[in-house]
Amino acid sequence: LWIDIGATSREEVLQAGIVLGDVVTFQYEFQQLLGDRATARGFDNKMGSMIVAEALRMLKEEGGLDSGVGVYAVATVQEEIGLRGARTSSYALAPQSGLAVDVNHAIDYPTVSKTRYGQLDTGKGPSVMRGANANPIVFRMICEACEEAEIPYQVDVTAGGTGTDGNAMQLNQSGMAVGIVGVPLRYMHTPCELLSLTDVENCSKLMAAYCRKVRPDTDFTPRLGR
């Protein structure tokens, strides 16, 4: 791979301030499309930081959080190269429960395999993961919170460990009760990722609704029949 910047010599490149190891990216800005759809680069996972910030705003302005429950918001780094930010922040905070927010492969466009990625569509609500990294009690509480608040959601089933921050959160120190939520995304890891802004808003509502259900004495221990 090479990138033509118009230079005619090595000296011109150095004079421009470009050195070995410099990072490049596509010049592709946020664009509103038809309906509530939008496209941009880096929705995965700058979108997650926005969702968490909006959930905090909702908790502050709308209330409903138990006075004995504290909520921390973390914007992690280096998830794609080893979940590093999630490991260190989970270690520092040591919470009893946590939610990781990421994206999922939407399958509502040509060439994407439903058998590989499952049934997740843009515009039909955020995803709630059920699987090895998700605490069953947290999963149930998220679903109950969504139903009580009339927030649409889709269930994402993942048999093994995920590549999300939820993996590191679950395994750090003595672990925590983790839920993994997300937004269905088309064209993941391209400069033109596409999502539903309504799904983004509902994911913030979902996170805030879950926080409101947690009590200081909530038992996250999975047991038969629970």
CB count within 10 Å of CB 71 equals 16
Do the Cβ atoms of 123 and 198 come closer than 8 Å? yes
| Buried b or exposed e, range 168-207, using 16+ CB within 10 angstroms | bbbbbeeebbbbbbbbbbbbbeeeebbbbbbbbbbbbbbb
Do the Cβ atoms of 79 and 180 come closer than 8 Å? no
Q: What is the full DSSP assignment across 13-49?
A: HHHTT--TT---------EE-STTEEEES-HHHHHHH
Active site residue 29: no
Which position among 11, 54, 62, 79 bears the catalytic label? 79
Do the Cβ atoms of 88 and 116 come closer than 8 Å? no
Instruction: Name 127's bridge partners.
Output: 154, 182
Work out the angle between the directed axes of helices 136-149 and 197-213 (0-180°, nearest 10). 110
Catalytic residues, by residue number, are 79
